[in-house]
Amino acid sequence: MTRVKVSGCGMALAMVGVLMAGCDQQTTQSDVKDAQAEVRQEQKETQQVMEQASEKIAVKEQALHETQVEEMEKVRKQEQVTADAATKADEAESKYHSQEALTAYVDKEETRLKDADHQIDDLKQRADKLEGDEKAALNKKIDRLQELRARAGDKLSELKSAGENERSVKGNSVEIAMNDLFVALGETR
């Protein structure tokens, strides 16, 4: 084996070369500090991005809530419109049935008036066959019956033209007038 003698200066140069080569591959304390500073900067930026995202989410949630409130108000208004329409339909149906009932009642009472007219005509024919006091007495009753018949006819006409609020009162007037007429007819027979 041969030994090579290296001088002190050569050794120093070799050491510097090794150190220099090691510096390229070794991390220094400054590198660590720089990396840590970069991590802190990235953490700050991440925090900022998270805050911005949270703010955007909060804004969108508020907008969504406002939209929900607006849409629910639209639904409530539409439900009210539907309820109002149902009420109007019920009122119209009620008026229709009320009008039908009135028409049926008026038709029935007009038929009764025609019956009364026939009975009065029969009484007139009977009076024509009588003489003296009997004829006068029957004619007086016939006159009273004709007044009651006219009154009943007038009350029925008033009922036909009465408004919805007046029908009950007018109907009672018809009932009374018709009752008076038919009681008097029954007494005259």
Q: Tens of pLDDT along 102-152? A: 999 999 999 999 999 999 999 999 999 999 999 999 999 999 999 999 999
Half-sphere exposure of 149 (CA within 13 A, CB side): 19
Question: Tell me: the pLDDT tens digits for 16-52?
Answer: 444 444 444 588 999 999 999 999 999 999 999 999 9
User: Over the chain, what is the mean pLDDT?
Assistant: 88
Question: Tell me: the pLDDT tens digits for 69-95?
Answer: 999 999 999 999 999 999 999 999 988
Residue linked to tokens 């009620």: 94
Q: How far is residue 41 from each of residues 30, 36, 47, 147, 168, measured CA to CA in Å? A: 16, 9, 10, 112, 89
Residue 116 lies in a domain: yes
Residue 174 lies in a domain: yes
User: Per the confidence metrics, is the pTM higher than 0.75?
Assistant: no
Residue 124 lies in a domain: yes
CA 174, CA 155: separation in Å to the nearest integer? 5
Domain that holds residue 180: 49-188
Domain count for the chain:
1
Encoded tokens for 95 = 């008026």
Residue 41 lies in a domain: no
Look at residue 4 in the predicted model and tell me its pLDDT: 46
Q: How far is residue 154 from each of residues 21, 97, 166, measured CA to CA in Å? A: 130, 24, 15
Residue 36 lies in a domain: no
Residue 21 lies in a domain: no
Residue 135 lies in a domain: yes
- In 3D space, the residue among 185, 180, 181, 176 whose CA is nearest the CA of residue 158 turns out to be 176
Residue 107 lies in a domain: yes
